[in-house]
Structure 1
Amino acid sequence: MTDTRADVLIRPATEPELRHLPDWAMSGPVTTVAFERFGGEVDARNYRPEWTWVAERDGRIVGHALWWGQSDASRPATLDLLAADPELSAPEVVGAALIRAGVDAFGAGPALEFNVDVAPGWADDPGAVAAVRWREAAAHGGGLSRTTERISFARSSTDPRPPRSTRLRFVEAPDERFHELFAQVATGTLDAHTLDMVASEGVQALADDDLAFYRSLPGKREAWRVAELLDGTTVGFIIPTRTAYDASISYLGVLPDHRGHGYVHDLLAEMVHVHHDDGQDRIVGTTDAANVPMRNAFARASFSVTRVRIVHAQAGDGAEGDAAGLA
């Protein structure tokens, strides 16, 4: 247990506290956990009391940090919800203590992340700006020091499908080949996670981390494909997998020598067809706000912007959980 100040106690939640989060924890300008799935997540042990931290003052809960993980995992992966009682004068102080308590308790492992989801026009809403800013201060104070703004997209099977490529073919390949490709696409990337990982640990560590991370996601490993020209020249690769809830444009990469020729559209179109042909109605994807080519590709493939995701992560390692489009 950790004290933030003399009058606030940070501790793990009890089962009843987890199941009955206060109204202020489940509302506000920052997107919170969908009520209709919350109970199922608790039942499936994606949310657990030992992964949920509360701030208590005078016997009353004044803050929550709700972490999510796979049902068979020994530690969580992402902080889904950080909330504070509106009466708190310094929510960033309590929030930082809640995050730090979890980070310290969960121990070594893949980098932990805190995803803050807001509406696309959040920067014009003073309430949303305030909610984002105190959570950013809390994340940095709690040890999640790398912040990236990402744009989330989605499409459904009723949206027009982009035409499939006539200049590329898509072939299966072993893990060793994808490991090589993860390293190769790092050159000249616009992806913030990739740049950070290469700078701190090197390109081979990046490839190790990426391969392990995408292998761990839900979805079919046999759907991974290497993209080739008709003469056999490798252009890039695609990794269509899943989030916990939807089919996902998890990763696509174009090799440095082949960028600038629009292959991102061919790769994304193939992933759309793979998922819809597999019976998936909804497909989601996320890319860094700075990655303009990937954002344009999503728009051209009839994806719509659904939210902005501000990702706070431990710096230096760990893959991000949504699409890492490298155009």
Structure 2
Amino acid sequence: MTSIRTARPEELPALAEHPGDTERNAATRAYLAQLLDSKCTRPEWCLVAEDADGRPAGSVVLWTIPGHAVPLAVVLFEAPADAPEAGTALLDAAAAKARELGATELEHVVDSPAQAPQFQRDPERRGELLRQAGFRVVRDGRRFSRRIPLAGLAELPADDPRLTFRSLAELGPGAFTDVLQDLLADTADARLAADVWEHGARRAAELLFEETAELRHEPDWWEIGYDADGTPAVISLPAENPSVPVIGFVGVVPAHRGKGYATSVVVRGTRVLAAHGATEVRGDCDAANVAMAKAFRRAGYENFADRLEFSRPL
């Protein structure tokens, strides 16, 4: 019989530790400490499963954007391979708690290969546990990373001279939502396409802008790039999440695709973040978005992981 309880103060930030796995234990401990410090989670959002003998048999942590009171996802999900019922109980308990706090959906991502900070080993088993608990895959993604050279901007690709960039500070949100609406009407991203189907292109564009705006950014970082004919061609929304600077969102307007602008806009976002001190930048795209994956590679990024994004309605 598995029981679920809130983690005790002395169990934080370690939670479920794996004997002999020093690298994993250190990384997950540091990650949870960071989440607690940044208010991405709270002690009462850290749950532990106990077996019939009262021994810890897994853990899960609710996560949100700093400053928010409603959980958005689960992280640090750990369940023993020989006790799948512990995994199901943890996910159900996390879902119930998130629902009580006002959440209508709960997400989780599984990265492969396993790596810091969560070390999600055995992704197939994890995926099966998630599906049994009511989660479904909403996106098959590819993750990319680029280290910024010590010389910074001097060693990065140059901006595309065909594009003229104007910032959010100059244009205001309306212009950005207009471009996003145009982009989302013809998107290769499964998750964004689902948003368009559910909400319509305009509302999906507004939601994408609002959600990306939750990440730390400055108004002059966000830009629309204009073609020589004066029409919007690309949009660049670089930002910083609590862990690393990211290419929050980039895209090419359908009328300007096929000109190599996808690489140009990734380069632009990278240069903006590098100019503000980034030493590494990450980005991601849907596996079906072949053009954007090529753009990341051409901009000097490497595909360091694949990511399955899961979601469970509450």
> Does the alignment reach a TM-score above 0.5?
yes
Q: Equivalences for 1:81-96 in 2 at 5 Å?
A: 81-88=76-83, 91=84, 93-96=85-88
**Corresponding residue to 1:308 among 298, 306, 310:** 306
Q: CA RMSD in A?
A: 2.9
Any idea what SS the aligned residue of 1:134 has?
helix
Q: Tell me which residue corresponds to 1:298.
A: 296
> Are residues 175 and 32 of structure 1, via their aligned partners in 2, closer, same or farther at CA, if it must alter by over 3 Å?
farther
> Are residues 29 and 240 of structure 1, via their aligned partners in 2, closer, same or farther at CA, if it must alter by over 3 Å?
same
Q: Tell me which residue corresponds to 2:196.
A: 198
Is contact 2:185–2:196 with CA below 8 Å preserved after alignment? no
Is contact 2:235–2:252 with CA below 8 Å preserved after alignment? yes
Which amino acid in structure 1 is aligned with residue 193 of structure 2? L
1:24 and 2:18 correspond: yes
Any idea what SS the aligned residue of 1:287 has?
strand
Q: Tell me which residue corresponds to 2:133.
A: 142
Any idea what SS the aligned residue of 1:253 has?
strand
Q: Tell me which residue corresponds to 1:41.
A: 35
Q: Equivalences for 1:139-178 in 2 at 5 Å?
A: 139-158=130-149, 160-172=155-167, 173-178=171-176
Runs of 5+ unmatched residues, structure 1? 1-6, 122-126, 317-327
> Are residues 296 and 103 of structure 1, via their aligned partners in 2, closer, same or farther at CA, if it must alter by over 3 Å?
same
1:298-319 Cα offsets, whole Å, 9 max, x none, are 1111112222222112469xxx
Q: How far, CA to CA, are the matches of 1:138 and 1:200 in structure 2? A: 27
Any idea what SS the aligned residue of 2:262 has?
helix
Is contact 1:80–1:116 with CA below 8 Å preserved after alignment? no
Normalised by the size of structure 2, how large is the TM-score? 0.85
1:106 and 2:98 correspond: yes
Any idea what SS the aligned residue of 1:222 has?
coil
Q: Equivalences for 1:65-76 in 2 at 5 Å?
A: 65-76=60-71
Q: Tell me which residue corresponds to 1:268.
A: 266
Q: How far, CA to CA, are the matches of 2:60 and 2:252 in structure 1? A: 38
Q: Percent of pairs identical after alignment?
A: 25
Q: Equivalences for 1:173-252 in 2 at 5 Å?
A: 173-252=171-250
Displacement of 1:41 in angstroms is: 2.9
Displacement of 1:33 in angstroms is: 5.0
Is contact 1:56–1:62 with CA below 8 Å preserved after alignment? yes
Any idea what SS the aligned residue of 1:285 has?
strand
Any idea what SS the aligned residue of 1:223 has?
coil
Deviates more, 1:269-278 or 1:140-149: 140-149
Which amino acid in structure 1 is aligned with residue 58 of structure 2? G
Figure out how many residues of one structure are paired with residues of the other and give that number: 300
Which amino acid in structure 1 is aligned with residue 89 of structure 2? A
Which amino acid in structure 2 is aligned with residue 209 of structure 1? L
Displacement of 1:97 in angstroms is: 2.8
Normalised by the size of structure 1, how large is the TM-score? 0.82
